[in-house]
Homo-oligomer: A and B are copies of this chain.
Amino acid sequence: MVEGLSINLATIREQCGFAEAVDLCLKHGITSIAPWRDQVAKAGLDEAVRIVRSNGIKLTGLCRGGFFPALEAVDRQTAIDDNKRAVDEAAALGADCLVLVVGGLAGNSRDLALARQMVADGIAATLPHARAAGVPLAIEPLHPMYAADRSCVNTLSQALDICEQLGEGVGVAIDVYHVWWDPDLAEQIARAGRLQRILAHHICDWLVPTRDMLTDRGMMGDGVIDLKGIRRMVEAAGFDGAQEVEIFSAENWWKRPADEVIATCVERFHSCCQA
């Protein structure tokens, strides 16, 4: 058993389907995973639930809900409806949380403040359903380089402001890739702890140079992020849940055998990620 390690299945998404990924994780002693909705859909939700239950698998999250901003009200409602379905899937799978990548600017608008309000409104509209289903919503602040097209929530501070505004049932997913640069990081992780809002801790590394803004994430230890330091902050804030490896790597890790990728995750988790 590898305690405290979860594999986000995006890390081996080019190599493995859901069932194969679970088998591979189990082979390496890993019993926590975080699948994406398209991976679950491809396996079939019922079959995914069966695989999870029969193997005693824990889900540190389901990826992903979000993408709330849109210029037309009907499109915002479509997003909310889809988020409710994502909540139901997370509930069926017994996931710790539904991870939200909240979305960027609405349509061709340049109004970030408007997009941010639409995000808060969309989460608010999804929240009663999530509370009823017992699925916490985890706002994942994304790196500012994604502000236009993926997430207009770009700091932990912003995410926690939304949490405080909306009340219980919503927290944060802290992904080192997105927040490592933040001069306010230590303070905001401590705040997240005081508010008891930390739902997930995602890890990978920031490569220098980074050759692609989306699919050039590094394996832990291959980049510049102070993973041990951030884990210390997260644990000091009261979160002792698993560290979830999420690596998008089109030119490197997605091209390697999944077994090698997972073995490397385990090795680096032990050598680079302990508080």
Give me the interface of A with B, judged by CB distance under 8 Å.
105, 110-112, 116, 143-145, 147-149, 152, 154-155, 157-158, 180-183, 206, 208-210, 213, 223-226, 229
| Shortest Cβ-Cβ A-B pairs, 8 listed | A147-B181, A144-B181, A110-B226, A145-B145, A148-B224, A148-B208, A144-B144, A149-B208
A209 to B147, CA, bound (A): 11
The interface residues of chain B lying within 8 Å CB-to-CB of A229 are: 110
Copies of this chain present: 2
Are B144 and A182 neighbours in the complex by a CB distance under 8 Å?
yes
- The answer for the CA separation of A18 and B135 in the assembled complex, in Å, is 61
Min CB distance A107 to B, Å, is 11
- Whether A111 and B181, one on each chain, are in contact in the complex, defined by CB atoms closer than 8 angstroms, is no
A59 to chain B, nearest CB (A): 30
Bound Cα distance A50, B159 (Å): 53
Contact: A210 with B111, CB < 8 Å?
A: no
Complexed CA–CA distance, A179 and B110 (Å): 14
Closest residue of chain B to A154 (Cβ to Cβ) is: B181
Q: Which residues from chain B contact A210 at a C-beta distance below 8 Å?
A: 145, 213
Nearest Cβ in chain B — how far from A147, in angstroms?
Answer: 4
Q: Which residues of the other chain, B, contact A182 by a CB distance below 8 angstroms?
A: 144, 154
CA distance A182 to B145 in the complex (A): 11
Asked if A224 contacts B145 (CB within 8 A), the reply is no
Given A144-B182, A148-B223, A209-B213, 20 further pairs, Cβ under 8 A: A105-B224, A110-B224, A110-B225, A110-B229, A112-B183, A116-B183, A143-B144, A143-B145, A144-B144, A144-B145, A145-B213, A148-B181, A148-B208, A149-B209, A152-B181, A154-B181, A154-B182, A157-B183, A158-B183, A213-B213
Identify the closest chain B residue to A110 (Cβ).
B226
Residue of A149, A180, A224 contacting most chain B CB atoms (<10 Å): A224
Residues of B within 8 A of A209 (CB): 149, 213
Alpha-carbon gap, A181 to B111, bound state (A): 10
Residues from chain B with Cβ under 8 Å of A180 in the complex: 112, 147
- What CA separation (Å) do A246 and B226 show in the bound complex? 33
Question: Please, which residue of chain B has its CB at the minimum distance from the CB of A161?
Answer: B183
List, in ascending order, chain B residues with CB within 8 A of A206's CB.
148
- Smallest Cβ distance from A113 to chain B, in angstroms? 9
With both chains docked as a complex, state the minimum distance between the C-beta of A274 and any C-beta of chain B, in angstroms.
15
CB distance from A227 to the nearest CB of B (A): 8
Closest chain B CB from A37 CB (angstroms):
23
Contacts of A223 in B (CB 8 A): 148
Nearest chain B CB to A271's CB is how many angstroms away? 14
> Residue A183 contacts which of B143, B155, B181, B213 (CB distance < 8 angstroms)?
B155
